[in-house]
Chains A and B, each alone.
Chain A
Amino acid sequence: MAVTTGTQLVKETTRVLAPGQTAGGIDDSVNTPVLSGKTPMWWWIGFGISAALLGLYLVSVVNLVTTGTGIFGNNMPVAWAMPIINFVWWIGIGHAGTLISAALLLFRQPWRTSINRFAEAMTIFAVVCAGLYPILHLGRPWVFYWLLPYPNTFGMFPQFRSPLAWDLFAISAYATVSLVFWYVGLIPDLATLRDSARSRFQKLLYGALSLGWTGSARAWGRYMRAYLLLAALSFPLVLSVHSTIAMDFAVSQLPGWNNTIMPPYFVAGAVFAGFAMVLILAIPLRRAFHLRSVITMRHLDNAAKLLLGTGMIVVYGYGIELFMAWYSGVEFEVFMAYNRVFGADHGWAFWLLIMCNLVAIQPLWFRSVRQNPIALFVISIIVSIGMWLERYVIIVVSLTKDFLLSSWFNYVPTFWDWALFAGSFGLFGTLFFLFIRLLPSVATSEMKEMVHHDAHHGSDYYETIRGSYHGEGGRA
């Protein structure tokens, strides 16, 4: 092996893969922290904080089940407050994983390879956090199966004309396909871990999870076919899941919700939020696990461009919403727009949203910002806050003041609203910390294929899409 440890320091590079990588080096740098018997201190600190928040989550859920939804601040007419804001926020984050792994695979964007694995994991954990919210919000979470079409004794069936019924199928299909896609992609890497496992626990864990992978040419052929089919299957979900969630709002008759622009604008928002979260996770991860040679400046740069592009689509959506309110001439729409922008109770949320999602992303036009991990990390956090505020503005501000003056109501979140939200970070964090400790966070088999190509077919192979992009290693 040319490179024996994963701790070698590589200069920052703007190539998809840092020069001088070997198959063994990739395995070492990704798998060493996973197989190592020593767990670094930062992991224990991060895991400890996440587990404590997960405890808060469990306490909140127990209180919710024993006391009821009255512990939350939502009440008529604001029936969909924090639980649905947080649901849409988490499910939006869960979109980048599938976009990276399926859409970019089908569009033959090789830079996806080193970030797809942990982005898929992020997707699944975010969908778990998201999926629990509507169930917890039901009031009687233990009878959530009433949502399913089964031969019940109510003389009732789900209302298939309602997007709320589609929601359930969209999210459960998305969770299932994402999980299968992630797991199928993991199998060859798990086999690599199995073959270099040292402890008995590792041998049994990775041995069982790799399903007897032999690495034969036939197995690889079938694997590649299955992976491509799953990618084709999950690609439409990138567009459909958040469109369905957008229709939960768009199909209603509430000013501020019933806009036809909702589905595409929600999808753009989901990719926007998702890439922000990918950057939030990738920047510390590449530093902590010394993965700067595989998650390079090129990846951060590309993700930042997607952040800027989808962000501008989202901002266009905000503009169109306000324009349509004015153009419709409907006094309720006009009032909604006025209240959203200048309302005394919640106007601050709109302006903060504009600061986060429009102003804060403008530096991304500059390459020096896109290739500055600290700046990207800060902008991504601001974007995540902005996307939360977007759902707050759409859901809460539209609901508080609707058609009837007598039903106006000002919403204030309670302690338990915040506790459950903070706790959902604990759930996400706990799962993510377990993932980076127990599973390879980079798709090593795909990376090794790239190394092979670099070695045998010229090192420019993966740079051809934007060959002369940075004047480094590109085609002249």
Chain B
Amino acid sequence: MPQYFPPNTNAFVRWALLGGGAFTVALIVALPIYARTMNNAVGVPVEQPIAFAHNLHATQLGIDCRYCHTSVEVAASANVPASETCMTCHSQVRVGSPQLAALWTSWEADAPLEWNRVHDLPEYAYFNHSAHITNGVGCSTCHGRVDQMEGIWKNEPLTMGWCMECHRAPERFVRPRSEVFNMAYQPPSDQLTLGRELVAAYHIDTEKLISCSTCHR
């Protein structure tokens, strides 16, 4: 029988099979580990055209979230304010400051400021801010203490698994409607009891919360 391959071919094939198998297993193990530990850029500040300080505006100046994010209670999007909203104060305050250069440009050109998106959900997830606000989900539950942030970053991974933590057991996170905009709210020690009462009081349909079409239409 003719020999077309050198004698060490068998060893090469054996090692290649072993290596290929090991590589496949390593890939299958490594990818979920990466997906679970990279944490979706949580805590990484996002660069913005203006170094807007939430802590200065919300805490030191005491401006309510809704002064800028006007549609949060009534619409799906909590809206990023138009330059006009900034100018309600900045036409008088810190006029000509180089830190606000992007704002002056936008105002003069009558073109919106291009902020960089921080919380970017996929298009197939139909998230609605007003539905959460009116059912007792506080701003800080998802966004963390934005009122203490110098820059802006995600406080939670926003993966579907993270959404499901609350959608499967809303009583663990729901707070009274009056406390929704209270950034310093601490859940009481009997959160589960209170949560169950609130879920009943707000008619939160826990069956619906875990149905696919609630978020994916």
Contacts and interface: CB of A to CB of B under 8 A. Distances in A.
B164 interface: yes
B159 A214 contact: no
Contact of B159 (A154, A195, A207): A154
Given A195-B1, A207-B4, A207-B5, A151 B32 contact: yes
Listed residue (B1, B4, B9, B162) with the most chain A CB atoms within 10 angstroms of its CB = B4
Interface residues of B, number: 20
B32 A155 contact: no
Size category of the binding interface on chain A: 10 to 19
Interface in A197-240: 203-204, 207-208, 212, 214
Contacts of B116: none
B165 A155 contact: yes
Given A195-B2, A207-B4, A212-B10, A150 B32 contact: yes
Given A150-B32, A151-B32, A156 B4 contact: no
Interface in B1-50: 1-2, 4-5, 9-10, 28, 32, 35-36
Contacts of A154: 159-161, 164
A463 B137 CA distance: 79
B160 A155 contact: yes
A208 B4 CA distance: 9
B176 interface: no
Interface in A116-162: 140, 150-156
Contacts of B144: none
A469 B168 CA distance: 68
B157 interface: yes
B5 A153 contact: no
A156 B1 contact: no
A210 to B, nearest CB: 10
Contacts of A195: 1-2
B160 A156 contact: yes
Interface string B143-182: 0000000000000010111111100100000000000000
A214 B1 contact: yes
Given A203-B4, A204-B4, A214-B1, A153 B10 contact: no
A371 B81 CA distance: 81
B32 A152 contact: yes
A140 B216 CA distance: 14
Nearest to A139: B124
A147 B65 CA distance: 40
A242 interface: no
A370 interface: no
B35 A152 contact: yes
Nearest to B31: A150
A401 interface: no
A195 B1 CA distance: 7
Contacts of A212: 5, 9-10
25 contacts: A150-B32, A151-B36, A152-B32, A152-B161, A153-B35, A153-B36, A153-B157, A153-B159, A153-B160, A153-B161, A153-B162, A155-B160, A155-B161, A155-B163, A155-B165, A155-B168, A156-B160, A156-B161, A156-B164, A203-B2, A203-B4, A204-B4, A207-B4, A212-B10, A214-B1
Interface of A: 140, 150-156, 194-195, 203-204, 207-208, 212, 214
The 6 closest A-B pairs by CB, nearest first: A155-B161, A155-B164, A154-B160, A207-B4, A153-B159, A151-B32
Given A195-B1, A203-B4, A208-B5, 12 more contacts: A150-B28, A151-B32, A153-B35, A153-B36, A153-B159, A153-B161, A153-B162, A154-B164, A155-B164, A156-B160, A156-B161, A207-B4
